[in-house]
Amino acid sequence: MAKKIKVSQLEKAIMNCLETYSDEVTTAAKSAVDEISDEALKIVKDHAPTDKRKIKRKGKYKRSLKTRTMYESVTEKKNVIYASGDEYRLTHLLENGHALTKGGRTAPQPHFKYGDDYINKELLKRTIKKIGGK
């Protein structure tokens, strides 16, 4: 519904509308970041390597993968997917491969890139959808 205002109050009315819209967009973007990071964590866990023999590790690395908020301010939010506990040491070795004690190298087993690709592809779409776009 239209609202009548005086010309002298036009600036305040426009600024009020823009601030309200900005708050809505920020809230939508932050909730999209949380949702997408949780979904990306599931994707990373699905692609994370496990010991096929089930002798020693028993999925310890996969269970250690978690997500948390690294930084949050009024206008932005950053989440990170990481390996908790002592398992963080394995991340680089698994992603890039490493030398073996008896010679040779292991094949890289990239699993974080799948989550990263998903985030890059999906975050903007989800934010636009939450704001009310198509």
Q: Answer whether 81's CB lies under 8 Å from 94's CB.
A: no
Residue 75 lies in a domain: yes
Of the two residues 127 and 56, the one the predictor is more confident about is: 127
- Domain membership flag for residue 43: yes
Mean pLDDT of the chain: 90
Residue 85: inside a domain: yes
CB atoms within 10 A of CB 103: 6
Specify the pTM: 0.83
Answer whether residue 2 is part of any domain.
no
Q: Nearest 5 degrees, angle CA 106-CA 45-CA 28?
A: 135
Determine, yes or no, domain membership for 1.
no
Question: Do the domain assignments include residue 53?
Answer: yes
Say whether pLDDT at 32 is over 70: yes
* Band (76; pLDDT cuts 50, 70, 90): very high
Give the structural domain span for 98.
Answer: 7-131
Per-residue pLDDT, 54: 65
| pLDDT over threshold 70, residue 33 | yes
Structurally, the chain folds into a number of domains equal to: 1
**Arithmetic mean of pLDDT, 47-56:** 77
